[in-house]
Each structure stands twice: as C-alpha cells, then as structure tokens.
Amino acid sequence: MKTRENYPHIPEIHVESSINLLLRRAKENRTTPLEEYVTTGGYSALEKALKRLTPEDIVVLVEESTLRGRGGAGFPTGRKWRFALSNPPPRYLICNADESEPGTFKDRIIIERDPHLLLEGMAISAYALGVNEAYIYIRGEYPAGYQILEDAIRDAEEAGYLGENILGTDFSLKIYVYRGAGAYICGEETALIESIEGKRGHPRLRPPYPANEGLFGRPTVVNNVETLSNIPIIVTYESYFMNIGPSGFYGPKLFPISGKVEKPGVYESTMDITLRELIEMAGGMKDGKKFKAVFSGALGVYSKRDLDTPMDYSPKGFGGTGTTIVLDEDDCIIDSLIVIANFFHHESCGKCTPCRVGTYEQHNLLKKFQEGTATEQDLNLLKHLAKNIPIGSICGLGFSAPQAIADAIKKYPEEFEAHLRGECPAGVCF
Amino acid sequence: MEKTNKFKYLTDELIQKINYYLNKFPKKEQVIIPSLHEILYVYRDIPFEAIEELSEYLDIPLARIEDVVTFYDMFRHRKNAKNHIRICRNLPCHLGKYRNLLKQIEKLTGAEVDGHSADGLWYIELVECIGSCAIAPAFLINDDLYDGSKIKSEEDLKKILEKYISENSGEL
C-alpha cells in the first residue's frame, strides 16, 4: 500500500462540510485506502446497483434526483444519459477531471483524498449506460492525482470492484486514466475527446453532440468528477436524496472558495446556502476588510446585491462549479478582469477567429483602462466584443470569455467611469 | 543497464513505458501524449530528436507528433533546467500577491521569469490556474505543489529550494 509520501507533495488544503456526503472521507490531507473505503460503506452502492437494480432503474433515479452537471454548464445529468442511451453500443463514459477554471479546485480534493468514491460513481454510471470502457481525463498539473487514480484503479481491480466480471456479475469495466498537458480548452468536452484520441485539443462543431458521436465516433457521455461522485449517494439514498437541499436543486455541492476570506478552501453544503453564508462559513472577510465582489471563476461577477442569492442553478445563482473568488475593498475590478482576460487570451485554442482575436483585443482594451488611456469608445468596443465573441465561437470557452467583463460593466459601471477619469477606487492601477 | 535498442533518446526504460501504453490503449495515436509525458519526465523538456525517434518507433508521421507538442503548454522543446518552477498568476494567486513570491524566488535562484539560472538548476515560468487557489500564491517545483501563503520569510523558501539542490547534486 502506497502512502502519501510516495506521491508528489500536496500541501494541506482546508476542507469543511456541513452535510458530510461528498467530503465525508476527505477531511484530512490523506488518500483513503480501499480497505477503509469499504469498511465505511464504500462500494455498497455498486453492489446494490449490480445485484438489485437494472440499468434503467439507475437512470430513472438519476433523472428524479434532478442532478445537474457540476463542471460548469449545469446540464441535467439524467437527460445527458438518455441522449446517449438512445444510440446503440458500444458507448463510452468519460470523467472530466480537467478542472482548470480559475478559482476551481474542488475535484482534486475528491481525486486525491477519496478516489474510490469517483471510481464507484463511474462503475455505477457505466453499468447504467451499458459502457465497458471508460476514461478519466485528468489535467497534467495534477501529477499526484494521476498516480493516486492509477493506484486506486489497480487496487479496485484486484479486489473485484473494477475489471472483469465485477462482484461476480457479468458486468465488466476497464477505466483508463489519461493525462492532459496544460491546455484549459481540453476541459471542453469535444476538445477533451480530441485530446483522448491523441490530437490537438480543438473543439468540434456541434451537432453531432458527443451523446451521438463522441469518442472514436461512438456515443459518449462526459461527466464531471463531482457529478459522478454523486451517483453512489443517489443510489444509496434513492428518494431520500430529495431531502438534501432545496426543491429542484437536490444533493450536495462543493464550493471552492479563494481570495480574501479567512479560511479559503473547499466547502460542502446544500444549494440553499447564500453567498453571504458561504463567506461566513469560510471565516468571513480576511482581516475584517469590506466585501467588494465575487468572481465566479471566469463566468460571472457578483456584487453586494447578490450576497443573499442562493448558490443554486437558477439563472441568478452560481450553478456549475460553485467557484467563489472573493475580492475586498483593496482589490480593483479592472485589474482582476485583466487577469481573467489574459487567461482567456492565453487559453483560446485559436480555432475560431472571434475568440482568438477577440480575447486579445479584450485584454488590450482593459489594459488601456488600467494605464489611463481608455476612452468612452473603448468601453463601447468592450461591450461590442462581449456580444460578438460568443456568437462567433463554437465552444464554451468563446461563450464564457467575455462574461466576467460584461457582468462587471453592468454591475460596476462606476469602476469603469472612475478609470476613464484616471482614478482607481482601490488604488491599484496607474 | 546496457541499452539494447538503437535509439539515442528513447532509452530501454522509455521504450518499456511506451510499450505499456501501446498495450493499454486501444488506438496507437492515444500513445502520443502519454509517451511525451514520459519523455518530459526524463529530460524535463521534449528534445526534437526524441520525437523523431518516437515518430519512427510508433510509425506515426513526425508532423502529427509535432502538432501535439506545439499545442500543449506542458510540452516544450525549449531546454529546461534541472528544476522547473511554475508559479500561478491567475486571479486567486494574483490577489494573493504572487509577484512578491516571484521576487523572492528570483532572488534566491538567480533565475528570471522564462529564463534559466546560470547554474542550470532553475527555470521559472508563470502559468495559468494550477487548481490550488486556497493556498495562493501556489507554485509547483517539478511535480511537487507548495503553499505560497506559508512562506513568511526567505528562510522558509530556502528550506524548500535546498531539497531540490541536494536531490540534484547526487545525479550531477
């Protein structure tokens, strides 16, 4: 049995949970070994699924659970599965562990501390989807996670939880771990599929959707780590799952919180928690400073007025990854947007011109605000780009590239006006 | 161990690993990225000669492999140093003042961003989010992840860096 010392160094990351579902074995900075996973109830959901439920039963449970994708887009998982099931086998299941949205570090906690929860979720999902070959696509920057998963799969195969004839049934599953190599775009499902096929990570035109033609042209389901880790919980709890959290947004959710809070870390909660409560859970604002804004990854900017919004999948909520980067009074909105804009410019794969050139222009225009050379026209250009980059791009990266900027223009017009006058309210720029 | 194959860069050990991936994955093209990772692990960068040899060994056109190498950020032809330091510059680490950490690291290693130290021990790169935002400013030394917020003094940083100097001196 390998201990943590055998893997590359992983420092302590703070983890807290009010409901102890996804994170029940992940409180400490250690990897839960198979034996401990099993003695604490692990792989019992897989046994129940294989021996007492049909694949259709599981799909219905997932549909009823209202589970939605935890990777960003928030697409209903059950519906995604149905699409794939309407196509004949062989089908593939891919676990998207290419977590690289700025401020997102929740999936790594499951991978590094409780890898068997993910593997059990994948095994049950594969059974439900009629899949015999599955992939975990893990980002290259998680070398420890890669080794932990490889070891966990080997242990599970030896114990009969994965591999041939799982638990004595006629269901077999091979899970491959595939490493990315530092391209954010590979978190986009079609780019990820291209990457697993050994190519550059360029997104594909849709349709056809992966559920119809995905990996090697076969029906493919791509689900996030946290989404798949919910499956054993759903199978165990069945209708009791609907007692966890608010109506329509059932189940546990992980919230990675970073920035200016006292205790940054990964927090597990139900989705009725508000942004204000979440910040309080993370120990409140750092050094008692005043709250300024939250960047939800690269996807949106939330202001004081959103503090009492529940963190669910409703249009006003956070949805998706639950990423929360907190800014205080000393931080500048423009300065932060520049970091995000630079990120998108760097990570645009270059396939669609509006994204490739648009993200570059966004960065340049914001720089002008920081340097004090921006004009009213530059602000209009930013708005124009925010409208047109998504229209002219084929994937989620182009769609989300201007979101934070568009949000900030709407919610913090005074910041832009001040910078036009040559003033930075936080005293960061100029 | 004496080398038995005809390649200069693809050692027997590397060939063994590439064969492992060839057996593991259903399609040959899927072996390109894992093989590049193995080459990167041994050489710390991707020598052009190594992918020429990989192309020959896998019987995949060189352009097809180069296509992959140039797309992914982690793969680099540029000569790396003994130790590769990657400092995150994305928003949470930006708010966590990664620039102060960078200055300290530059001072202690003698390397600058996108450059080598004179002794060839260090290479510093600024990278996008490495998924460690709770420990901002986060940084990686080779495969090891570190919490920049825990570095309160030059001494703290020195202690971490020294580990890699002593580890390397044995090989030199």
CATH number at residue A239: 3.40.50.11540
Q: Which amino acid is at A354?
A: P
Q: Name the residue ranges covered by the structural domains of chain B.
A: 12-71, 83-169
Residues A193 and A338 in one domain: no
Q: Do residues A247 and A276 touch, judged by C-beta distance below 8 A? A: no
Q: What are the chain B neighbours of A259 within 8 Å (beta carbons)?
A: 91-92, 95, 133, 136
Residues A79 and A204 in one domain: yes
Nearest-angstrom CA–CA distance, B142 and B85 = 6
Residue A426 lies in a domain: no
Cβ contact B129–A103 (<8 Å): yes
Six-digit token pair at B30? 């899927």
Cβ contact A256–B133 (<8 Å): yes
- Examine the fold and report which residue of A243, A274, A293 is the final residue of a domain before the chain moves on: A243
Residues A345 and A293 in one domain: no
A and B: number of Cβ contacts within 8 A: 154
Query: What are A73-82's contacts with CB under 8 Å, separation 24+?
Result: A73/A320, A73/A396, A74/A313, A74/A319, A74/A320, A77/A223, A77/A227, A80/A211, A80/A221, A80/A223, A81/A125, A81/A128, A81/A129, A81/A221
Whether the pLDDT of residue B168 is over 60: the answer is: no
Residues A184 and A302 in one domain: no
Whether the pLDDT of residue B127 is over 50: the answer is: yes
- Tell me if residue A210 falls in helix, strand or coil: coil
The whole-number average pLDDT for the span A339-350 is 95
Number of structural domains in chain A: 3
Residue A425 lies in a domain: no
Q: What are the chain B neighbours of A346 within 8 Å (beta carbons)?
A: 128
Positive/negative CA dihedral, A119, A121, A125, A127:
positive
Nearest-angstrom CA–CA distance, A87 and A214 = 11
> pLDDT tens across A293-334, in order?
999 876 789 999 999 999 998 887 777 789 999 999 999 999
> pLDDT tens across A162-199, in order?
999 999 999 999 999 999 999 999 999 999 999 999 99
Architecture of the structural domain at B83-169: 3-Layer(aba) Sandwich (3.40)
Q: Does A428 touch chain B (CB under 8 A)?
A: no
**Alpha-carbon distance B48 to nearest alpha carbon in chain A (angstroms):** 18
Q: Does A14 touch chain B (CB under 8 A)?
A: yes
Residues A341 and A300 in one domain: no
Residue A33 has what DSSP assignment? P
CA nearest to A115, candidates A154, A173, A77? A154
CA nearest to A111, candidates A98, A128, A102? A98
Least confident interval from A380-389, B15-24, B158-167: B158-167
pLDDT band at A5; cut points 50, 70, 90: confident
Whether the pLDDT of residue A20 is over 60: the answer is: yes
**In the beta sheet, which residues pair with residue A221?**
A93
Residue A71 has phi, psi (to 5 degrees) of -100, -5
CB-nearest partner of B135 from A13, A101, A335: A13
> How much is the pLDDT for A308?
94
Residues A84 and A215 in one domain: yes
Q: Which of residues 55-74 of A touch B (CB under 8 A)?
A: none
Residue A430 lies in a domain: no
> How much is the pLDDT for A3?
57
Whether the pLDDT of residue B39 is over 90: the answer is: yes
CB-nearest partner of A141 from B27, B131, B134: B131
* CATH at residue A402: 1.20.1440.230
The whole-number average pLDDT for the span A279-304 is 93
Residues A269 and A135 in one domain: no
Residues A107 and A160 in one domain: yes
Distances (CA, A) of A421 to A74, A374, A417: 40, 9, 6
Percentage with pLDDT > 70 across chain A: 99
The whole-number average pLDDT for the span A138-144 is 96
- Examine the fold and report which residue of A291, A311, A326 is the final residue of a domain before the chain moves on: A326
> How much is the pLDDT for B166?
74
Residue reference for tokens 């990266």: A397
The whole-number average pLDDT for the span B57-74 is 97
- Helices A403-411, A333-347: crossing angle, 10 deg rounding: 160
Residue A76 has what DSSP assignment? B
The whole-number average pLDDT for the span B20-42 is 96
Contacts of A222 (CB under 8 A, 6+ apart): A94, A95, A96, A189, A192, A193, A210, A214
Which chain A residue is nearest to residue B129, measuring alpha carbons?
Answer: A102
Q: Does B29 touch chain A (CB under 8 A)?
A: yes
Which chain B residue is nearest to residue A200, measuring alpha carbons?
Answer: B68
> How much is the pLDDT for B170?
42
Q: Pick from A258, A296, A336, A345 the residue to mutate for testing the B interface (most B CBs within 10 Å).
A: A258
Q: What are the chain B neighbours of A144 within 8 Å (beta carbons)?
A: 143, 145
What is the extent of the structural domain holding A201?
4-243
> pLDDT tens across B141-151, in order?
999 999 999 99
> pLDDT tens across A189-234, in order?
999 999 999 999 999 999 999 999 999 999 999 999 999 999 999 9
Residue A429 lies in a domain: no
Residues A52 and A195 in one domain: yes
The whole-number average pLDDT for the span B96-102 is 97
**Alpha-carbon distance A325 to nearest alpha carbon in chain B (angstroms):** 7
Cβ contact A14–B134 (<8 Å): yes
Q: What does the CA dihedral A374, A376, A378, A382 come to, rounded to 10 degrees?
A: 130
The pLDDT mean for chain A works out to 95
Six-digit token pair at B148? 């920049």
**Alpha-carbon distance B92 to nearest alpha carbon in chain A (angstroms):** 5
- Examine the fold and report which residue of A243, A274, A296 is the final residue of a domain before the chain moves on: A243
> How much is the pLDDT for B171?
43
> pLDDT tens across A67-122, in order?
999 988 889 999 999 999 999 999 999 999 999 899 999 999 999 999 999 999 99
Q: Does B155 touch chain A (CB under 8 A)?
A: no
Least confident interval from A4-13, A46-55, A417-426, B17-26: A4-13
Residues A34 and A112 in one domain: yes
pLDDT band at A1; cut points 50, 70, 90: very low
CB-nearest partner of B92 from A11, A103, A141: A103
> How much is the pLDDT for A4?
66
Residues A163 and A237 in one domain: yes
Residues A118 and A224 in one domain: yes
Six-digit token pair at A211? 């559920």
